[in-house]
Amino acid sequence: MDVVVVGSGAREHALAWRLARGHGLLELHAAPGNPGIAELGRCHPVRADDADGLLSLALTLDADLVVIGPEGPLVAGIADGLRQNGIAVFGPSGAAARIEGSKAFAKDVLRAAGVPAAETLSVARAPCVVKADGLAAGKGVFVCRTPAEVDTALRDVTAFGGDFVIEELLEGEEVSVFALSDGKHLITLGGAQDFKRIGDGDVGPNTGGMGAYSPVPLPVELDELVERVHRPVIDELARRGCPFVGCLFAGLMLTDEGPKVLEFNARFGDPETQVLMPLIEGNLLEVLMAAALGDLSGTSISMSGEAAVTVVLAGPDYPARSDYSGARIDGLDAARAAGASVFHGGTAVRDGGLITNGGRILSVTATGPSVPAARERAYDAVDLISFEGARFRTDIAAAHA
Ligand code: AMP
Ligand code: GLY
């Protein structure tokens, strides 16, 4: 069985690792992959956004399944070209991926589906949130508590070119909830919390995510939350003729009035995937394949009941710069020997040794019987890894310790 994982981050490494684990017959491929994934399968020099290159790779390999990680290729419709050529794909069509690619489309679907969400405002008056309409790599959202912040946000959001939306500012804990869909049925995957700011105590600029933990405390059962939030969206997208096949990721604010949607993403989260994958029991490959083939009804996923924590090691100037390259990385074997999983986010191999090559370099994940136990193991493993200039948060999941 040949499976191609598309992408090159720690999320894709975690997915590849979970797919490869326990599947002796699996031939794992990645496009383009990274040095961590190269330990599990074959990496091909095809970029994640190269539609023609991916199609020809999938056809050459006679791939049984293609799993697409990042949002850019999904929103660009890369899944469509593959499907039109008879290839099974886990990942939504370009039309369905607009749930992430366009805030205006997402709001329209949410309204029609009756899912509780941040309300849209017609004027920008503090407190409020100003959001660029299209994909902006997490940089197009401006939380404004003062009139001066609104002025700055309105100026900055125009730099993104297209439209923008204004919505009410919600307060509470933020959680990410994931469910897998074949376009009709849903399987709950899990909930996790991501730490988006660069600094301890949630200060400083937003990043791609500096750590995560799972499970998270929720006011209602996870399955009920998925019924309330994901189900109506899956039904509405199907009704509109663009069924969603893939991982539907709801970013929720747990407000005093109940959970409300901040955004939907059309993919697995990064770094949430790095904590969810080690907790999955059973056959993930079978489930992704069933979703891609359009019938999840006979399948299920169970979680181990343990907890997982991941800590991201980034370069010294991240998030201002994501090109920290050439520093030697030591200690991965020791961290693994201590029981952690180390997922590569931005690494390269030079002269047979591992070096930094990116912004978020590694995701160090550990599991344990509780969040505090997993946290302790994750930080013990972090202490064993070194590269010059490494920066990481010391408070991932600390509120639960
Ligand atoms: P998004 O790209 O929509 O996930 O927004 C990025 C971050 O901005 C979220 O993770 C929240 O921390 C924050 N955010 C977005 N929308 C709101 C909102 N309506 N109220 C409060 N915070 C928000
Ligand atoms: N962890 C947030 C995201 O993947 O967008």
User: What confidence tens digit (pLDDT) does each residue in 226-272 have?
Assistant: 999 999 999 999 999 999 999 999 999 999 999 999 999 999 999 99
pLDDT attached to residue 23? 67
221 token code pair:
């059962």
State which ligand 2 atom lies nearest to the alpha carbon of 268.
4
- The percentage of the chain sitting over the pLDDT mark of 90, rounded to a whole number, equals 86
Which CATH number is associated with domain 307-400?
3.90.600.10
Per the document, the length of the chain is: 401
| Region of residue 122 (left: phi > 0; alpha: psi -120 to 50; beta: else) | alpha
Q: Is 194 in the pocket of ligand 1 (CB under 6 A)?
A: no
Q: What is the pTM of this model?
A: 0.95
Which CATH number is associated with domain 119-167?
3.30.1490.20
Does the pLDDT at position 135 exceed 80? no
CA distance to 55, 76, 88, per residue, from 84 (Å): 10, 15, 10
Q: Is 143 in the pocket of ligand 1 (CB under 6 A)?
A: yes
Going by DSSP bridges, is the β-strand pair 360-368/353-358 parallel, antiparallel, or unpaired? unpaired
Strand partners, 206: 197
C-alpha closest to that of 313 among 275, 346, 336, 350? 346
pLDDT attached to residue 400? 66
Name the residue with the closest Cα to ligand 2, atom 3: 269
Task: Give every CB contact of residue 239 below 8 A, 6+ residues apart in sequence.
Answer: none
Site to probe by mutation for ligand 1, drawn from 103, 135, 139, 141 as the one with most ligand atoms within 8 Å of Cβ, is 141
Report the C-alpha gap between 31 and 343 in whole angstroms: 16
pLDDT attached to residue 160? 77
Does the pLDDT at position 131 exceed 90? no
pLDDT attached to residue 140? 80
Average pLDDT of 182-209? 95
Between helices 103-113 and 222-239, what is the axis angle to 10°?
110
Cα separation of the two ends of the chain: 42
Between helices 10-20 and 284-292, what is the axis angle to 10°?
110
CATH entry, 2-93, from 3.40.50.20, 3.30.70.1050, 3.90.1150.10, 3.40.50.720: 3.40.50.20
Average pLDDT of 97-120? 93
- The percentage of the chain sitting over the pLDDT mark of 70, rounded to a whole number, equals 98
